[in-house]
Amino acid sequence: MHNAPTIAYIGIGGNLGDARATVEDAIARLAALPQTELLRCSSLYRTAPVDSSGDDYINAVAQLSTTLTASALLQALQAIELQHGRERPYRNAPRTLDLDVLLYGQDRIDSDTLTVPHPRMGQRAFVLAPLLEIDAAMVIPGLGAAAPLLAAITDQPISKL
């Protein structure tokens, strides 16, 4: 018996080194994950750091169909981060690559290693704008429609590349 695939949304971002090339490579690696199909990917966006420092970030969101469990997907994302030299010296440090499980189907997950929906996604233009590009009617479990959430964020400049 095979598990039915789950639609997952992955937040992608980085601001160290050649961030654009890193984000593009990460998207290719997401497409190559086992038991996973890359369905859609947003445009790339440039955003100023939020609760962080350093250069502007390059961000995107990918929509995946996967039969990986949420924790297996997280492990795969962390392996891709490590391949790009991700270090975690302190919370919200500048980074070569950040891959976050934003949504995993309609599931709500609260474990030691993973919280879904991502706890701050409703407050981040760099998540909501690319998410709405993929699905203009996106509803985030527990938060509601994404479009009004993005409209309420007026202090986070974001530009499509």
Catalytic residues: 86, 95, 98, 100
Rounded to a whole number of angstroms, the CA Rg of the chain reads 15
Residue with tokens 């309420």: 152
Taking a C-beta distance cutoff of 8 angstroms, is the pair 9, 106 a contact? no
Residue with tokens 């502007």: 56
Closest CA to 131 of 36, 5, 40: 40
